[in-house]
Amino acid sequence: MRFEVSHVLDAIERRLGTDPALAAGVLDVAELIYCADLDGGRPANLVRLGMVVDGLARQVGEEHVSAYCVVDKSLLSNQDLTSNERMVMRRWGDDGVVEVVVGAAARVIEVSELTGLPIVSRVLPAVWSPLPGAGGTVLQPRGPVPTGPSPVGRQLTARWWHCPDPDCANFGPARRGSGQPVPRLRNGQPICPRHDAPLGDSGPRPPQQVLAVRVDGVIRTRFVVTAAGPVVVGRAPDGGQGQVGIQLGPWLSEDARAKVSRAHVSVALSPQGVSVTDLSMNGTLVRLGGAADGELQLSRGATRQLGVSDIVELFPGVEIGRIGALASSRPLDSASVMSDAPTMTFRPGY
């Protein structure tokens, strides 16, 4: 069973991240792992985080949803958890996939205000509350979805920040170019939430645009394109020379696999906006305004500037568009971080 739990925790880890552009919600781990009614198990259980992440994925209709998780530092020595759970959370903090802070609840509220991310909680001013449901955890609407980042939040995320600790996983050199968490503010001064130290300003961040991949009616993943370089999307882009690639292979049907090229399109961001360049054997369709304004066929080497609601079709049912312009058109399949969970964690609460 220990082996199975490790599998679930690994699956949960793949849904955690502190880049606000890729996350769909922010949550306080210390609160949610104590929601024993979600499964009727022991008082605290880190696996419960996976049930909440699954609920978030179903709520927003994104299969590979990412959750911005804040871990209160006291959890790392909490005796209600197993030594394995404490060790895993410490590793997540060291790797920067979660934030470990003193005062997690206040930090969750701050992250939501600065980034516009909805809070998942029963006690904080949340957008959704997790409740036990028939098919797993469901998120019950509780408050309005934030309209977007606050003005201060926009200023903070428009710059790169660096922590005086060179090994800092959240604001160290390794995070530059791949997104950063939002700094914590103390008396108006940006500080590292992990190390409680003033952050240095490393200059302006290139603008970015968040895009989504929809396959067979379901949003499978998000990705960010910045002015720093294009992103190649295809069946299996090689990702060589530091190139960012989005691999669609695992989601494609046999027909789609035969028609979608390994590197099918390149998506770039310039001051003019997002553009797409066809790199494929079979061409790419751009549905202008989603389809309302007609279609445009791109063949190899052709580039097209994308309007805000244009949808790029690599093959029927394999689409790319701005997050917001593209949404899941049907409920998620059974894809769940809990598929490796021991059956006991599925015991219904009611």
**Residue ranges that bind Zn ion, judged by CB under 5 A:** 163, 165, 168, 171, 192, 194-195
The least CB distance from residue 97 to Zn ion, in Å, is 14
The least CB distance from residue 169 to Zn ion, in Å, is 8
CA max distance for the chain: 61
CB atoms inside a 10 Å sphere around CB 125: 12
- Using CA atoms, how far apart are residues 218 and 226, in angstroms rounded to an integer? 24
Residue 12 vs 192, nearer CB to Zn ion:
192
Gap between the terminal Cα atoms of the chain: 24
Tell the residue number behind the tokens 């490790």, with chain if given: 6
Which helix (H) or strand (E) element contains residue 257? helix 254-259
Residue 168 vs 244, nearer CB to Zn ion:
168
The least CB distance from residue 288 to Zn ion, in Å, is 45
Q: Which residues pair with 184 in a beta bridge?
A: 191
- Using CA atoms, how far apart are residues 30 and 152, in angstroms rounded to an integer? 27
- φ and ψ at 127, to 5 degrees? -85, -40
Residue 198 vs 317, nearer CB to Zn ion:
198
123: left (phi over 0), alpha (psi -120 to 50) or beta: alpha
The least CB distance from residue 191 to Zn ion, in Å, is 9
Residue 159 vs 262, nearer CB to Zn ion:
159
| 142-177: burial string, b at 16+ Cβ within 10 Å, e else | beeebeebbeebeebbeebbbbeeeebbbbbeebbe
The least CB distance from residue 200 to Zn ion, in Å, is 11
The least CB distance from residue 192 to Zn ion, in Å, is 3
Residue 128 vs 171, nearer CB to Zn ion:
171
Residue 192 vs 260, nearer CB to Zn ion:
192
The least CB distance from residue 17 to Zn ion, in Å, is 17
Residue 65 vs 114, nearer CB to Zn ion:
114
- Nearest CA among 307, 305, 286 for reference residue 295: 286
The least CB distance from residue 164 to Zn ion, in Å, is 7
Residue 195 vs 262, nearer CB to Zn ion:
195
CB 12 within 8 A of CB 316: no
- Using CA atoms, how far apart are residues 338 and 54, in angstroms rounded to an integer? 8
